Structure 1
Amino acid sequence: MTTTRRSFFAGAAGFAGAAGFAGTAAVLPAAFSGRLLAQEESAPAPAKLPPSIAALPNRRDEAKPITSEEREARIAKARELMAQHGMSAICLAGGTTLSYFTGIRWGNSERMTAIVIPAKGKPYGVCPAFEEERLQERLTLVPAMAETKLYTWQEDDSPYELVAQGLRDAGLATGTLGIEETMPYVFADGIGAALPQVKLVNARPVTVGCRSIKSPAELALMQLANHVTLAVYEAAWKAGHPGMTTHAFSGLISAGYERSGFPGDGSCETGEYSALPHGSIKPQTIREGAIVLIDDGCTVEGYQSDISRTFVYGKPADKMHQVFEIVKRAQAAALATAKPGVPCEAVDAAARQVITDAGYGPGYAHFTHRVGHGIGMDGHEWPYLVKGDKLPLAAHMTFSDEPGIYLRGEFGVRLEDDMYITEDGAKLFTGPSLSLEQPFGA
């Protein structure tokens, strides 16, 4: 359903480390939705690996990094979209959008570093003076960014005035500047004050216009991430058993990702706590005949997977079987509905109708969240499969497909796989769950 712990620990630590900001926190990824507050600290790997975990191969060599040529094409597309939407330039601070266009992994602290990509002309950047050399060497990795001019500031200078100076130097002092939507408010506010003659707008039409349509290389990385996650989940399921704590089960998943060569982890909820989509901080022990719900995924060259599986060790109750089958039909309905030209909200409506018709409606009564979110470099990213989102789907968009039914005080069932939109429909990156007893097939 989400990638909160993984995104926070891997993303925040990685970005903060990359930016060299000791003692400061990176801005939380877009996927952060609160589950970090409802989880114990990241589960440790077991001292001795069970056979199913030990048998997982390292697949790191299968991941093919995004090429500089592809990043060049992304920048070119962004410029086309800027022209279409009347933007003179877009401004990016640290985060996944900066990485998407430049390959630079850079975090945000109180010291602003930003890259401005104009619709015409050369990009420029603003960074602390002591970061100039380090940022410049990263910019040279993408030919379109190699000649980026850097405006540097000392600790008692204003970086916002330098953003303004760069626009004036480019002849864009009275245009429209798109601000990447996850930029910290303090940065956007400072830029706005320094540029009273420039209109600031959300750069989403440009950034989402680029990022929401995945290239073959991006789809290949996401395919690998999904395959790795499903293999790790299956290995953990085989090693798990009644009497094990959910914290220990999460440790099996963490160990599986370490064996596979990619950062990732997994949450685990059981029994009545599986009815809370983002879990509980309370200690839990897996019991025979109880629902177990696992979630999260891994990161492959910056691209995410997000898969949930629900299963039972032993014999499930009849009601559990019934709910599982309803959720399975809802997931299939969403997949069958998703195709180019169909509005995002129609996919949610198709899954929700199945659940409502089965007596678990109306609305969000028991299916308490949207059916899916965009996924790519962020675990949650635009667009979203939810009522009110009328954006038409397009080929090569990617989403989670994750209906659920949550019965407070009893149990919850969620089935989640990631899907990609094809020219005439949609496909899952992974095969769907078969049953509560065989969540990964025979």
Structure 2
Amino acid sequence: MNPPPITLQERRQRLQRLEAAMEAQGLAAVLIDATSSLRYFTGLVWWRSERMIAALVRPGKPLTYICPRFELDKVGGSVGVPGEFLTWEEHESPYALVADAVPTGVLAVDEQAPVFAWLGLADALGVERLRGAGALITPLRARKSEAEIALMTRAKALTLEAHRRAHASLEAGVRGSEVAAFIDKQHRALGADGGNTFCIVSFGQDTSLPHGGEGDPELKEGDVVLIDTGCALDGYNADITRTYVFGEPTAEVRRIWELEHAAQAVAFDAAKLGEPCEAVDAAVRVFLKAEGLGPDYQLPGTPHRTGHGIGLDIHEAPNLVRGDGTLLDVGMCFSNEPMIVVPGKFGIRLEDHFHMTAAGPKWFTQPQPSLDEPFRGVGALA
């Protein structure tokens, strides 16, 4: 059974925390564009286009939505947090509307807003009055609530079950596109928001490309199989990768798989409260270098970061990567996927996620137990 969606009360608490941070920094307003942050704070899910749909947050004033006049009925019926509305006609400027609503002071703008929105706001308010809102929004979104953790826990369980079913369905000659379609069907049947949020299915040499090849080859005996996929519940994402062999693995594949499995455990053990995110990535690279891989991003080795944050975005800050000094804190959620690539041959990526608790990291899903029995111990999910 799926957990309940995020409540109105929780969204209002998020807005209160945002307003408190704004007041502490002396900001007049924050503009949240049609990004995942709009959903996070207001519950409004909207596609990004050339027409501004946004929320304006001003301490001590009602939440204000900005939208085209012809979309008012639809936007008004879609918001999760009630508020006031400022509308503009097609020949008018939404940026001028924002300038009128924020006549003085600094406006912090959603950093995922498109460039044209920043340019329009700069013309209307003056560039000196604008700054990015990432320093306000990212720390709030990075620390997940119990409700968010519950939604992601269930979403990841659904995706792991879809993986298990896909593994059981594999036959020689099947194409990657057919496997992706099968997984999409399973996600829908299991009760996710929709089908796959994404799905990478790679066979053989294509597994050495972190995001797969461009073709659609058929599965052959002895192929390494790498499947990276996810779904969402109330917008909260799963993202799990499993790698195994269709048939008998070679000694080289088995050796690299075991190193990948060990590297994932090294990353988990290195995730300690109060330590910087980059320390997790560093621990993995020290381990792999000692095993003759790398160093750094050199191949054979790990070509990308050890992990990324996850929530309403599949990839969101902070990240387990060199240079990210964010201190690990309770509620932060990360992928753990120090992929090992052997160029021109194969790649092994095992990806599970963990969240930080007061007692340290906790897995959302248990890592793949073995190369030969990738779903040992995973019971069927209804």
TM-score by length of 1: 0.82
CA distance in 2, matches of 1:157, 1:413: 53
User: Which residue of structure 2 lines up, in the alignment, with residue 264 of structure 1?
Assistant: 195
User: Which residue of structure 1 lines up, in the alignment, with residue 336 of structure 2?
Assistant: 401
What amino acid is aligned across from residue 346 of structure 1 in structure 2?
A
CA distance in 2, matches of 1:432, 1:282: 29
Q: Matches of residues 55-66 of structure 1 in structure 2 within 5 Å? A: 61-66=1-6
Q: Is 1:386 aligned with 2:345?
A: no
Selected match of 1:421 from 342, 345, 356: 356
CA distance in 1, matches of 2:281, 2:8: 36
CA distance in 2, matches of 1:415, 1:354: 16
Q: Matches of residues 31-430 of structure 1 in structure 2 within 5 Å? A: 61-139=1-79, 141-142=80-81, 146=82, 148-168=83-103, 173=104, 175-196=105-126, 199-262=129-192, 263-265=194-196, 266-365=199-298, 366-430=301-365
Does the 8 Å CA contact 1:314/1:437 hold for their aligned counterparts? Answer: no
What amino acid is aligned across from residue 56 of structure 2 in structure 1?
V
User: Which residue of structure 1 lines up, in the alignment, with residue 380 of structure 2?
Assistant: none
Q: 1:408 to 1:160 in 2, by over 3 A?
A: same
Provide the secondary structure at the position in 2 that maps to 1:138. coil
Does the 8 Å CA contact 2:303/2:340 hold for their aligned counterparts? Answer: yes
Provide the secondary structure at the position in 2 that maps to 1:308. strand
Does the 8 Å CA contact 1:81/1:205 hold for their aligned counterparts? Answer: no
Q: CA deviation at 1:197?
A: 7.8
Q: Tell me which of the two structures has the higher relative contact order, counting C-alpha pairs closer than 8 angstroms and 6 or more residues apart.
A: 1
Unpaired runs of at least 5, structure 1: 1-60
CA distance in 2, matches of 1:308, 1:326: 16
CA distance in 2, matches of 1:180, 1:324: 41
In the TM superposition, what whole-angstrom CA distance separates every residue of 1:271-296 from its partner, at most 9, and x where no partner exists? 11100000111121222222100002
Provide the secondary structure at the position in 2 that maps to 1:435. coil
In the TM superposition, what whole-angstrom CA distance separates every residue of 1:108-139 from its partner, at most 9, and x where no partner exists? 21111221101332222221111123222334
Q: 1:250 to 1:137 in 2, by over 3 A?
A: closer
In the TM superposition, what whole-angstrom CA distance separates every residue of 1:51-102 from its partner, at most 9, and x where no partner exists? xxxxxxxxxx523110000001100111122123332211011121001111
CA distance in 1, matches of 2:130, 2:369: 50
Does the 8 Å CA contact 1:93/1:114 hold for their aligned counterparts? Answer: yes
Does the 8 Å CA contact 1:244/1:285 hold for their aligned counterparts? Answer: yes
What amino acid is aligned across from residue 178 of structure 1 in structure 2?
A
CA distance in 2, matches of 1:438, 1:90: 50
CA distance in 2, matches of 1:234, 1:197: 52
Does the 8 Å CA contact 1:85/1:205 hold for their aligned counterparts? Answer: no
CA distance in 1, matches of 2:142, 2:185: 31
Q: CA deviation at 1:386?
A: 0.4
User: Which residue of structure 2 lines up, in the alignment, with residue 58 of structure 1?
Assistant: none
Provide the secondary structure at the position in 1 that maps to 2:23. helix
Provide the secondary structure at the position in 1 that maps to 2:55. strand
Provide the secondary structure at the position in 1 that maps to 2:358. coil
In the TM superposition, what whole-angstrom CA distance separates every residue of 1:391-438 from its partner, at most 9, and x where no partner exists? 101011001000111111111000100110111310110010112211
Does the 8 Å CA contact 2:185/2:195 hold for their aligned counterparts? Answer: no
Does the 8 Å CA contact 2:45/2:78 hold for their aligned counterparts? Answer: no
Q: Which range moves more in the overlay, 263-272 or 90-99?
A: 263-272
What amino acid is aligned across from residue 317 of structure 2 in structure 1?
W
Provide the secondary structure at the position in 1 that maps to 2:130. strand
CA distance in 2, matches of 1:161, 1:87: 19
CA distance in 1, matches of 2:239, 2:26: 35
In the TM superposition, what whole-angstrom CA distance separates every residue of 1:340-398 from its partner, at most 9, and x where no partner exists? 10101001111122222111111111200000000000000011110011110101100
Does the 8 Å CA contact 1:309/1:416 hold for their aligned counterparts? Answer: yes
Does the 8 Å CA contact 1:177/1:198 hold for their aligned counterparts? Answer: no
Aligned-residue RMSD, C-alpha: 1.4
Q: CA deviation at 1:198?
A: 5.7
CA distance in 1, matches of 2:159, 2:184: 11
Could you list the runs of 4 or more consecutive aligned residues of structure 1 that deviate by over 3 angstroms after TM superposition? Answer: none
CA distance in 1, matches of 2:233, 2:3: 7
CA distance in 1, matches of 2:260, 2:27: 44
